[in-house]
């Protein structure tokens, strides 16, 4: 490491600014040992019957539920999300484990194909090896488990590079797999800074890479992985449109809109960030959303009454504030909120912007916090144009009293996930992916579990 490279990571409580813990940065010897262990473990792990790997994953779900309150408290301490949301995150992790524990073998079974007469032809799905998972802080358990549950069960081994502000969660997750009976080396954590990730990607012991993070990080990982000709799956940023048609039940939709924008303090790639509203219901919708945003309880994330906790780090708060200020300077109107709260911790209030001009940050960039833009449109075709007027393409939702009408718009919307009359979400049963600057590759469902396998064509004559 260079002389100015960090030797310690420090985690902080975003609600209070208090120090939580200090973690040593892995030196080169520690990284070598972790990579060796992963590579050495792979052959025995992938040869283990998949029924045994499924049974171990079922045990992981049990460990998660048994320790749910403790794990939720850790998430809240490191990230700042309200405790009920942290508990829901842990529960969702248990669900994805149960989903693949029940279905992985069927999703990976050989697929018979029609070949030449007199031949036996099929595709087998075989694991690739150690997979590096570069994971973010915003859902510090869920993002990891939606990678680990399918891909470890498929026979790969995992190397987690977690965000520095959630290293307590990283260590807890490693412990969960060990407590469930996973052999050492099947799932490990690398405590390294970002500038050392490229060396790990280039290492011959690493077979593939997955990243959930920013578009900028995705470009870097894609370039580094491409240089080494390694498979990647990238789930990147989003600026999801929330399209409200003129027949939508406004009061019900407004309730969903606030949830879609403020869950986890708005720090989600699939949060609804741009409300695109038919002018016939625009005023009613804006009033209803404003009222609900202003009624949210912002405060201590450990208090059960809290709806909105702090942002996860000081730099995230500073960036969001800069984006809002620049947008207002460009002509946007603040309906409610609009500046950091004067209190201890990294708090930003629920905020609504209207009259957002083209070219300003609120129109062009991802706002990673509880800030919504609301735009009036005269008709469906304009709504689709505005929805697609972004470099991102992760999720989108359409709200209407006529589901068939909403479904008819789906082919016109450029996104990896389009939901009609439902908030965009990731679900173990459904494939999840983005297009454009939101990345590529698939997570979850039978499609996701096959991403880090060799789809091997077999011809027997």
Catalytic residues: 235, 269
Element (H, E) at 277: strand 272-278
Phi, psi of 455 (to 5 degrees): -75, 90
Whether residue 135 contacts residue 235, with contact meaning beta carbons closer than 8 Å, is answered with no
Going by C-alpha positions, the residue among 170, 191, 180 that lies closest to residue 75 is 170
Closest of 140, 59, 40, 67 to residue 100, by C-alpha: 59
Contact present, 90 and 68 (Cβ < 8 Å) = yes
By DSSP bridging, strand 231-235 and strand 208-212 are parallel
Question: CB neighbours of 208 closer than 8 A, spacing ≥ 6?
Answer: 128, 129, 131, 132, 156, 225, 230, 231, 232, 233, 452
Q: DSSP letters along 282-325, please?
A: HHHHHHHHHHHHHHSPBS-TTSTT-SB---S-HHHHHHHHHHHH
The H or E element that residue 91 is part of is: helix 83-107
What distance in Å separates the CA atoms of residue 161 and residue 389, rounded to the nearest whole number? 33
Cα distances from 437 to residues 88, 391, 416, in angstroms, run 29, 6, 11
Please state, in angstroms and rounded to a whole number, the distance separating the CA atoms of residues 360 and 377: 19
127: nearest Cα among 198, 193, 190, 44:
44
Neighbours of 455 (CB within 10 A): 10
Number of alpha carbons in the 13 Å side-chain half-sphere of residue 219? 5
Within 8 A by CB and 6+ apart from 338, the residues are: 324, 328, 349, 351, 353
SS3 sequence, 433-444?
A: CCEECCEECCEC
Is 315 in contact with 345 (CB distance < 8 Å)? no
């Amino acid at each position: 490491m260079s002389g100015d490279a960090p030797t310690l990571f420090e985690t902080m409580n975003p609600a209070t600014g208090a120090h939580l813990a200090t973690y040593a940065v892995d030196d080169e010897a520690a990284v070598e040992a972790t990579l060796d262990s992963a590579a050495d473990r792979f052959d025995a792990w992938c040869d283990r019957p998949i029924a045994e790997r499924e049974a171990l994953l079922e045990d992981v779900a049990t460990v998660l539920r048994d320790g749910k309150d403790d794990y939720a408290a850790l998430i809240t301490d490191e990230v700042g999300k309200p405790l009920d949301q942290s508990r829901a995150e842990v529960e969702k992790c248990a669900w994805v484990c149960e989903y693949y524990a029940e279905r992985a073998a069927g999703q990976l079974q050989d697929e018979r194909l029609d070949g030449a007469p007199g031949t036996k032809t099929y595709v087998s799905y075989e694991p690739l090896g150690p997979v590096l998972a570069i994971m973010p802080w915003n859902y510090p358990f869920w993002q990891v488990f939606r990678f680990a549950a399918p891909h470890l069960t498929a026979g790969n081994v995992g190397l987690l590079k977690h965000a520095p502000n959630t290293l307590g969660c990283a260590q807890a997750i490693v412990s969960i797999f060990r407590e469930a009976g996973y052999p050492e080396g099947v799932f490990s954590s690398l405590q390294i800074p970002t500038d050392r990730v490229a060396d790990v990607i280039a290492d011959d012991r690493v077979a593939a890479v997955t990243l959930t993070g920013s578009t900028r990080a995705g470009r870097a990982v894609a370039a580094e992985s491409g240089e080494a000709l390694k498979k990647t799956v990238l789930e990147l940023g989003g600026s999801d449109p929330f399209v409200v048609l003129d027949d939508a039940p406004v009061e019900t939709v407004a309730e969903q809109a606030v949830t879609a924008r403020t869950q986890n303090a708005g720090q989600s790639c699939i949060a609804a960030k741009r409300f695109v509203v038919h002018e016939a219901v625009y005023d009613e919708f804006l009033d209803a959303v404003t009222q609900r945003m202003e009624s949210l309880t912002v405060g201590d994330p450990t208090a059960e009454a809290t709806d909105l906790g702090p942002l996860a780090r000081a730099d995230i708060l500073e960036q969001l504030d800069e984006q809002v200020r620049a947008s207002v300077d460009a002509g946007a109107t603040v309906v409610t909120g609009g500046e950091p709260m004067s209190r201890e911790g990294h708090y930003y209030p629920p905020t609504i912007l209207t009259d957002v001009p083209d070219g300003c940050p609120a129109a062009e960039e991802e706002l990673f916090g509880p800030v919504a833009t609301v735009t009036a449109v005269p008709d469906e075709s304009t709504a689709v144009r505005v929805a697609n007027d972004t470099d991102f393409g992760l999720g989108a939702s359409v709200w209407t009293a006529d589901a068939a009408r909403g479904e008819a718009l789906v082919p016109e919307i450029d996104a990896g996930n389009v939901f009609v009359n439902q908030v965009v979400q990731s679900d173990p049963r459904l494939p999840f992916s983005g297009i454009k600057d939101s990345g590529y590759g698939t997570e979850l469902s039978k499609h996701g579990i096959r991403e880090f396998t060799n789809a091997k064509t077999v011809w027997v004559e």
